[in-house]
Amino acid sequence: MGIIMSRLFEGLFGSKEVRILILGLDNAGKTTILYRLQNESDEAVQTIPTIGFNVETLQYKNIK
């Protein structure tokens, strides 16, 4: 019974952590999509070619 209540409370009021992996070809816009999700604005995003990989954290509603 306790686990049901904690899951219900977490689902209603708690935040969830989700990990997303974005893969694609060179110059396909992966970094641009990531930065647009992070900024939530309509202005153009200036990016440079990525060497290696990017790790970013963003919050959307109750999902981190």
Q: What is the pLDDT of residues 25-62, one digit of tens each?
A: 998 988 888 888 887 767 777 788 888 888 888 877 77
25 is in an annotated binding site: yes
Residue 31 is labelled as binding a ligand:
yes
pLDDT in the model for residue 25 = 94
Residue 22: inside a domain: yes
Distances (CA, A) of 25 to 15, 21, 57: 32, 14, 22
Q: Is 28 annotated as a binding residue?
A: yes
30 is in an annotated binding site: yes
* 2 carries a ligand binding annotation: no
**Within its chain, how far is the Cα of 28 from the centroid?**
18
Residue 47 in any domain: the answer is yes
Band the pLDDT of 1: cuts 50, 70, 90: low
Is 29 labeled as ligand-binding? yes
pLDDT category of residue 11 using cuts at 50, 70 and 90: low
H helix or E strand, kind and range, residue 47 = none
**pLDDT for position 30:** 87
What is the phi-psi region of residue 43: left when phi exceeds 0, alpha when psi lies from -120 to 50, beta otherwise? beta
Q: Bigger pLDDT: 25 or 2? A: 25
For 52, the domain range is 15-64
Q: What is the domain count for the chain? A: 1
For 36, half-sphere exposure in the C-beta direction (CA atoms, 13 angstrom radius) is 9
